Structure 1
């Protein structure tokens, strides 16, 4: 080891240098020499020796000056330097040590003392280097821990802090070394304050590590939770202080809070929830599951969901079910199960795969709600919605739907079809003479006779009053329609015996043929209606095919239906960001005026004679108006505004509209993202169709909003929808405002929507108290009289100029 250590001898006396050289070389050290301070500095710059023997009294630079400059060289602050001089006065000794000498040797030199001092200095340097290496190693280890580490002595004085502790606490080690820090870092709970010193100072009363969760304070005053391990450290068998190792557990605490909330929702939600392992064995269920199925948790845990199977599905269904779930990690749909008592029931079921950090499925979570009564009610409502209550025939809506299908099928198969408009002759006189009860019996009898004249594939419908329609699909020639028309007229001419009265009646029939009389539903309806009126004008009890020359005689009603022209005016209602009070959007509302005479579109024609083409046209006109106005208002301010247009469910579900709206909005110079398409929440009843429509609007660049949400649907059904926003009905808001129980449901709804990344808009906000309550419940947007009622664009602009709103 000594052969690698070099000693620089600096002395202007060659005899002294020789004596010193022989002594240290005899001890096994390598020697280099310098005869003055300047030469010594040059030699040290080229190669810093391991030790320097430095004379004081030298020309050019004396030993003191040389010593000061040596200490400034790279590595010079650590090399041991032994001053060798004849000076032994107190001032010289003090000056030597002040300049940085490690030791002092007086001339004449005692060689044995020299050897001992050299060895002691080398030993001291080795110890120092070992300590430095140990400290570097300790700092490396504590840095690699990934945890904050600091060390205090028995008095709480900081002696060490690693980089992670510096980062977590905001202090640098150099700022706090030698200072008490326990009160600076820790924020103990009141019950802990008496034990704080014991935990952190690790005195004799606590000889083992102490593990706890507590709070620490950052330099900026922020308090954060930590997991703390306090361990005593020993010197010569005696406790010298405490090593504190801590982790920031803020994220864990947040996760625990979320888990507690999830647990509450899991247990208290009305929807059934079931969690299985990756093999499908049930691990846990909630109260809603037990209430729906009739099983207790103990009865199903460890079982598979097969105990719920209704027996209605074959192997192929379950094979597709599992293929979808395994490949996509998600399955959603309606399924029939069986309760513990054997009763079958329908549920809407959503299953999601839960994966670990390696994307491996470890569990499945299933959420369902019982829709049996809803399905039964829905079926009744659906039937009632599409059938006439008096005659049990299809009504106008079902007639239009079937006519659309028939036209599409005829186009595909290149076949013909016929549309009849049938009106009873002088039915009003029968009502006036015999009364409405007899009139109703007559209409029911007409329905039965019409059914008897038609094929199973044909459709007969009642539009209202004494007006009936017939669809004859898949016919070869108009003669086929004429045969059926004659049969109908003959059947209806047979006298009726109704409540003791013999009644004679006839009918007039108008016929339109596809494709020669019209290629669209609207054209066929209009032309069949026109032909029917011509049959009445020709003496009644007749059928009449449509002819082009009849077009000149179409009355006002048919003309309006054909053109679909109707003026409307627009009003706009502001939508405000609750937190900032800034203006976000305007809802555009179209108002149709009532006609003073003739047909009123809103009161009569729109209600009873609207067509899909008319609805499509009107929706496009409204979107165009709103787009143009939003474009103008957006250009007047720093932030683009959003426009909201609410459609009827029938319009929203028309999948031709998203692309049509996109073209309209682009032509106005507006981005489709600035237009939000809204629809009442009744569209949720058409679940699959609604999901499809939302996706089409999203592809076209629009956002969507579910409006009039008033608590009539379950939370699960609302969460399953993929609308970008929901608008809460004002009645729901007022109910929740005054009912803590209902308020809890609203909070859950708002929280769930925000977790799904969806906005929540409150409608009908009338006062500041309601607005403040909504802000507290984290509702994002609102509209209503408190922020400004709907008004024309001119009035809105004037109110804006008066700075009623800000952007």
Structure 2
């Protein structure tokens, strides 16, 4: 036997340990090792909440806590123990440690911080720590026994705020102090001669008391939470410590119980738990509680061979409500939406607020997928009802995605992910509806992930290239402008069109990096053409709503213009109408700043989105581009003809230039000329082409 093994085996082996570890296999392994090496009794808890409950209900000599726990990690658990006065020594274990984590847990009160190693050496270190704590506890117990005997003096006995009860070896009450009477309602004379059983509440079963007496008989002490009954009949929680007093011959002379009423502490714990598991705005369960309930529902569904559903809900146009009416109104709407969703559910269902305007519904038991469909329809209908904000009637809608166990996944994470995918597909498909997850969505998500990864490489590995589509001045009958259009020269797929990667760039946030590349490329190309083409050439540069709202857009433009010095006034920024939804005042500040840099602005795809005469007058636009959907067949479609004539006339009245997009026939071009359209763009006049080819077109017309 090694010296270390000898240390791991103190004289008394009934040391009670609690091991909190979410890896069941690892927990059982360490439990066996500690029992074999030290003879320790090791209880196991699978997460921080369960461990906290066990420490509140039973005394442990030491807790061994894995740092990376679900729900409550090791550091959070240490702080809760400290804040709630639960005096259990804690060793923190972690697979990968850092000095910062070590400092945090030791500061929070851990007695040691150990790193799991592959050869199991940390088991020996745990044994050493247990021995140190055990010896300290033994010393503390001896001091406590001496303290009790000394403090049995009348004065201290009378003035302490803790209830004290002294019984003989047969557990008959010999004395109680005034605090006992204050807490329980029983007077001294009513208590003496009785047994502590007079206080039993019935909340604990026989097994609880068996364990308590087992601890008292083996270790001469027990400490933990117990529920007792007052004389009034009220049941309340106590923190009770029972110690054995022995005579000189080693026989039991008294049992001394010292207790406090922890009702307030329990209320505080309840409040802490509520704060950790409920959303502060809507008072709905939050993600932490969802994971717990969903995991329990999933275990039951697997055990009973039933189905469950998760519905992922996202409000449509919530950002507009928030920006238009203010955050207070937005908060009020979220509270109301939570109530409306709840009203559409069955009693067994749970709605949680995930974050922002996202909600999740857990349906723990469904007979068929149609059950989830009916609930989703009721939710969307409830959300779509009119909502009053400052006496203004407004409407919001919702998109929902549904995932069903077992067909759509066998874990909470997978079901949430698939419900999320289905929700986004519902948004893409028109909003205000629900869709069930299917494998095609997963395939599309994987395809998007691949494109996103390859696009990141494309930006850094020079796979992107700019094309330019001619814009013809209809009065001069010559090319005076070009629209810059990005292409992806994929090493395997060849030339990839923007529609195949721009939406993914928008969704992933890569549009900012991609936009910066485009800005640089256009400025660089204008510099290269500076002495080769007419100085009046202007290039239209598309800016997405995401880029427009990004704080660094003006900085990116200014930096690129400083590096490449394109001709003054040669860049036109094209902005879609939908940008105006986010608030014209915000946009105006940005546009004014960029206008001062010599940039011009066109409204792109005019007529297809959010537009207003007031905004066109208020914002510093120089022109607008009529969307191709209005230009196509304008010569034969009378309704389109009326709209296009009105757009041209309105723009000219506002001193705005007009570009007609998507011109493909001579008849369409003739109509536009006849109605004084300023510029035309489309396949009839020139397809998008590489820079070299576009330069040739310019030089030919010169």
TM more than 0.5:
no
Structure showing greater relative contact order (alpha-carbon pairs closer than 8 Å, 6 or more residues apart):
2
TM-score calculated relative to the size of structure 2: 0.39
TM-score calculated relative to the size of structure 1: 0.34
Which protein shows a greater Rg?
Answer: 1
